[in-house]
Every structure is written in C-alpha cells, then in structure tokens.
C-alpha cells in the first residue's frame, strides 16, 4: 500500500503517452505500472499526468527603474504551483565590488522558509576578477552551478566586456558551470535609445526600435563564438527571435554546448501590442517581436533547437508600469508569467500535434533539469525521482484574467486569451499543493536544491 496513487490518467513525460498509474511513497515516485493501490488515490480519468514544470528564469522582488517586481518568493512560488511549476531558479544580486558569495547568501536567506516549491538560485556577476573566480568553487560546493552575465546595461553597471566574458567562460568551464547570458548589443542599443530620445521619440512604440532584432542576433553569434572557443557551456536566456537560432544550431552541430531558452511572451505576443493604449505593459527586454520571429521560435522548440521554455517572470503592478510618464526609458521592464508558463506553452504547440506537445513538455521539464544539474531527480516521471507531478486537464478551456490568477499583480499580458488545457492539481515532492484548483499546500514548504554540473538536454541534434 503506497502513500498516494494517481490512476486513470495518461502519463505524458515528453517521450510517450501511456495510461500508467503512479505510486508515491513519501517524497518520491515509488512505482509506475498497473494495479497499484494507495492509502489515498487520485482518479485522473481524462487528464494528463506531467512532470512538474521547472522555471529556470524568475525575478522575485527585483528592483527595476524605481519599482520592485511584485511577487516575492512566497507569493510567486504559490502562484507557480497553481500553474503546475514545481521548481524555480531565481538570481542573486551583486553589489558593486562584491564577489558572488554575499549575494548568494542574501538571496538564499530571502528564499528560505518562504518558497512553496523547490528552488535554487543562479550566481550573477557584473565583472570577472579573481574574487569572482574563487567564489565559483565556493558556489559549486553550495550546489549552485550556473552564472548569469549581461552583454547589455553598461550604464547600469551590468555589462561584461568581451574579454571579461571570454575569461569568465574559461573559468566557468573549469569550475563546471553553465554560463547564462542576457544577449543584447548593449552599446548599439544605448546609441539607438539616445538617438530616439534626441528626436523626442519616447513613446513605447519606439522601444522595439531601440532594440531591433539584429541587436540580439549579433551578440548571440558573438557569445556562441566565445563559448565555442572556450569550450564552455552556454545558455542564452529569453531568446526573442528565431533569427538568432542558426548560430546556436551551427555551433551545436560542431559539438559546442550552446543552448537557448525562450519564453511564452515571445511565442504568443508580437510588437503590435505596443500600439495599444496599455502598450507599456508589454515592455520587456528583449522586446516582443514581429510575428515571423515567433514562428521561428515555435519551430525551434519542435525541432529541439530551443532547449527550454522559462518565464523571465518579472511582474510589476499596473501602477508601477503606469509610472513611465510617456518615456519608454522609464518603464520597469518585465512581465508576469510563472502561473501561465505551462498552459500557454502547451496551448501554443498543440495545433502542431502530439509531437510538438511532447517537445514542449521536454522544454519545460527534462531539458531544464539536465541543463541546470537537477536530473535525474527532477523533470522526469520515473521510480526514484522526486514526486513532482501535475494533473493537467487537456479539455478545460480557460479565458485568462489577471483577477483569477494568483500572481501579486493586477494585469496580465494575456488578458482575455482563451487557452485549452490547464493544470488542476500540483504535487511537489509528494505533497499536494494545489488540488482541483484550490491551494492545499504549506507556505514555505519548498526545499533548496543542490545542483550538479550541466548535462546536455534531450534534442534531436
Ligand atoms: O526586461 C526584463 N526582461 N526584465 C527582467 C530582467 C532581465 O533582463 O531578464
Ligand atoms: Zn535578461
Ligand atoms: Zn530575466
């Protein structure tokens, strides 16, 4: 007799769809098969049973342009569970002059006891020097094996020059780290912003003009070149345009370990949103793009050249977004997304068939688990893995409304969108967190994860 058995559902792990039963003992999956019995049983007739989604890109309580992103670890992780996300990875912040350790310790203290799902953080650095190098080894001992850098935001003190980036890539290779990069051409973007400002072109419609597609294609090709030369692991975050994919794919076919993440906003939204009266609510960096770029990303998920889908969850309240004063430079950049990650990703891929849905499931589960050193414990449905499971109703049609979501913000970029398929029950390490759309979990029940080195995602390439 097991603690909990889920029966009647179609188990979809991104590789196959089978009507298995799943037995849970304590925090782990104990068995997968038929004729299993449990002290408690959940009947999932007509539903899919998925591995819990892993969101490797969130920004809880992030200060930006005078505002702070509205979700903290408590509210954001609870909303995550409503959306079928059972693991999140957020970022440390680094004060000028610091290495990695103080920021990691601060951020872990913030997350501890507050986060309802399992969690980790990425290291992050604005520069590369001996202190950052030494702290990589310390961070790895803490189970942190990824580090974020920027090729943009020079004026905010965030941008790494190419030499620092190259030497960081070498050090990360030696330390067993994945280097994650916000890849935009920082210097060109600053020049374009200044030129638009001089011409008085500060409406939000000019935001994408200040960061055109080539300002993402160029740095992606550049960081791929540097990572390939350094034989380092590279992961480009929030890729917004299909045009940037060929450089990654070509390098990977030569054996380089270079991968990309995209986000639902780049799969569902296009730059026509900036013409709306609330267009500033859609401002994020890189910007949402013309429709053709979206199609390239969708195709990339299906053929495996986009490895993961994550959110860049950075929700501001409507009041914070409205404080921009007609100047796109003053908008707190970012969007809410953690609760809608799973349903939006699968709904975008569903019209392309079951193979596309499977690719989407892999991009939300096994691929982030492997890249961020969480496999085989996370991202899979297998005996011995953590019992992170989602019961997903593929027939439920939901009209998205911010008022019915649980993120700490009062608007959604997807307001009024109708999607078919929604997570109804979420189990995190054997504990039911959300049952039939109702919260039944413990606040702060998430555990800090100890991550290993990156592993290649599952891809046709
Ligand atoms: O504009 C965005 N995406 N804000 C969040 C921080 C980042 O750059 O990912
Ligand atoms: Zn970014
Ligand atoms: Zn981000």
**Residue 25 CA, ligand 3 centroid: distance in Å:** 36
Largest Cα–Cα distance of the chain, in whole Å? 72
Share of the chain above pLDDT 90, in %: 99
> How buried is 252 (Cβ within 10 angstroms: 0-12 exposed, 13-18 middle, 19+ buried)?
buried
Q: Where are the alpha helices (DSSP H) in 350-413?
A: 354-364, 366-371
Q: Give Rg (Cα) of the chain.
A: 21
Mean pLDDT of 146-159: 97
pLDDT in tens, 234-251: 999 999 999 999 999 999
Cα–ligand 1 centroid distance for 50 (angstroms):
28
Q: What's the 91 CA to ligand 3 centre distance in angstroms?
A: 9
**Closest ligand to residue 282's CA:** 1
d(CA 263, ligand 2 centre) in Å: 11
Mutation pick for ligand 1 pocket among 70, 269, 334, 413 (CB with most ligand atoms within 8 Å) = 334
Confidence check: pLDDT of 461 > 60: no
Nearest CA to ligand 1 atom 9: 312
Both ends of the chain: CA-CA distance in Å? 42
Q: How far is the CA of 56 from the centre of ligand 3 (A)?
A: 10
Mean pLDDT of 254-280: 98
- Which DSSP string corresponds to 109-174? HHHTTT-SSEEEEEEE-SS-SHHHHHHHHHHHHTT--EEEEESS-TTTT-BPPHHHHHHHHHHHHH
In tens, the pLDDT along 60-88 reads 999 999 999 999 999 999 999 999 999 99
CA–centroid distance, 149 to ligand 2, in Å, is 9
Query: CB–CB of 264/301 below 8 Å?
Result: no
Tell me how far the alpha carbon of residue 148 lies from the centroid of ligand 3, in angstroms: 10
The vertex-88 CA angle with 86 and 90, nearest 5°, equals 170
Q: What is the C-alpha separation between 318 and 347, in angstroms, rounded?
A: 26
Task: Compute the distance between CA of residue 185 and CA of residue 209 in angstroms, rounded to an integer.
Answer: 13
Ligand 1, closest atom to CA 57? 9
Closest residue to atom 8 of ligand 1, CA basis:
285
* Residue linked to tokens 């969108």: 417
Looking at the chain, the whole-number percentage of residues with pLDDT higher than 70 is 100
Q: Which long-range contacts (CB under 8 A, 24 or more apart) does 245-249 make?
A: 245/296, 245/297, 245/300, 245/305, 245/306, 247/217, 247/220, 247/221, 248/220, 248/224, 248/305, 249/305, 249/461
Position 449 scores a pLDDT of 98
Quick one: tokens of 311?
């959110």
246: left (phi over 0), alpha (psi -120 to 50) or beta: alpha
Instruction: For residue 310, give the ligand nearest its CA.
Output: 3
Looking from the CA of residue 69, the nearest atom of ligand 1 is 5
| Rounded Cα gap, residues 84 and 47, in angstroms | 14
Ligand nearest to the CA of 183: 2
Ligand nearest to the CA of 91: 3
User: Which secondary structure element, helix H or strand E, spans residue 191, and what is its range?
Assistant: helix 186-198
Give the β-pairing of 2-7 and 38-43. Answer: parallel
pLDDT tens per residue across span 333-385: 999 999 999 999 999 999 999 999 999 999 999 999 999 999 999 999 999 99
Which pLDDT score, from 0 to 100, does residue 136 have?
98
Q: Which of 396, 399, 434, 359 is nearest to 85 (CA)?
A: 434
Short-list 283, 285, 203, CA closest to 241? 285
Average pLDDT, integer, range 32-40: 98
Residue located nearest, by CA, to atom 6 of ligand 1: 334
Say what the pLDDT of residue 460 is.
63
Report pLDDT digits (tens) over 293-321: 999 999 999 999 999 999 999 999 999 99
Q: How many CB atoms lie within 10 A of CB 280?
A: 24
Per-residue pLDDT, averaged over 445-456, amounts to: 98
Summary mean pLDDT of the chain? 97
pLDDT tens digits, one per residue of 77-136: 999 999 999 999 999 999 999 999 999 999 999 999 999 999 999 999 999 999 999 999
The pLDDT assigned to 15 comes to 96
- Give the pLDDT of residue 41: 98
- Res 459: pLDDT: 73
> Which residues sit with their C-beta closer than 6 Å to ligand 1?
59, 182, 238, 284-285, 312, 314, 333-334
């Amino acid at each position: 007799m097991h603690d909990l058995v889920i029966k009647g559902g179609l188990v979809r792990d991104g590789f196959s769809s089978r009507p298995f039963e799943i037995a849970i003992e304590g925090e782990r999956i104990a068995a997968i098969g038929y004729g299993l019995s449990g002290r408690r049983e959940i009947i999932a007739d007509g539903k899919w049973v998925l591995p819990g989604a892993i969101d490797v890109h969130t920004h809880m309580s992030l200060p930006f342009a005078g505002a702070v992103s509205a979700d903290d670890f408590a509210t954001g992780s609870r909303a995550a569970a409503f959306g079928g996300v059972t693991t999140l990875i957020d970022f440390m912040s680094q004060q000028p002059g610091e290495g990695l350790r103080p920021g990691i310790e601060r951020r872990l203290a913030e997350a501890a006891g507050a986060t309802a799902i399992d969690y980790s953080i990425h290291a992050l650095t604005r520069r590369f020097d001996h202190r950052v190098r030494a702290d990589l080894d310390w961070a790895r001992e803490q189970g942190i094996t990824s580090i974020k850098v920027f090729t943009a935001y020079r004026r905010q003190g965030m941008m790494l020059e190419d030499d620092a980036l190259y030497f960081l890539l070498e050090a990360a290779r030696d330390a067993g780290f994945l280097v994650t990069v916000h890849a935009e051409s920082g210097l060109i973007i600053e020049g374009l912003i200044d030129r638009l400002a001089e011409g008085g072109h500060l409406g939000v419609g000019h935001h994408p003009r200040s960061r055109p597609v080539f300002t993402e294609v160029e740095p992606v090709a550049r960081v791929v070149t540097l990572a390939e030369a350094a034989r380092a692991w590279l992961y480009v975050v929030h890729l917004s345009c299909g045009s940037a994919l060929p450089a990654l794919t070509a390098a990977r076919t030569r054996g380089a370990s270079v991968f990309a993440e995209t986000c639902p906003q780049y799969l569902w939204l296009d730059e026509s949103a900036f013409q709306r009266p609330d267009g500033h609510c859609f401002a994020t960096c890189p910007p949402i793009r013309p429709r053709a770029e979206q199609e390239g990303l969708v195709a990339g998920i299906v053929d495996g050249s986009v490895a993961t889908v994550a959110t860049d969850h950075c929700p501001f309240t409507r009041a914070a977004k409205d404080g921009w004063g007609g100047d796109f430079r003053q908008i707190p950049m970012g969007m809410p997304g953690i609760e809608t990650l799973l349903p939006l990703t699968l709904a975008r891929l569903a019209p392309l068939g079951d193979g596309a849905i499977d690719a989407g499931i892999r991009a939300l589960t096994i691929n982030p688990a492997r890249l961020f050193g969480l496999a085989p414990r996370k991202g899979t449905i297998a005996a011995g893995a953590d019992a992170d499971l989602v019961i997903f109703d593929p027939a439920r049609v939901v009209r998205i409304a911010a008022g019915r979501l649980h993120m700490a913000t009062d608007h959604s970029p997807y307001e009024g969108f109708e999607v078919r398929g929604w997570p109804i029950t979420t189990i995190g390490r054997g504990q039911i967190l959300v049952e039939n759309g109702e919260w039944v979990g413990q606040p702060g029940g998430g555990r800090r994860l100890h991550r290993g080195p990156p592993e290649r995602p599952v891809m046709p390439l």
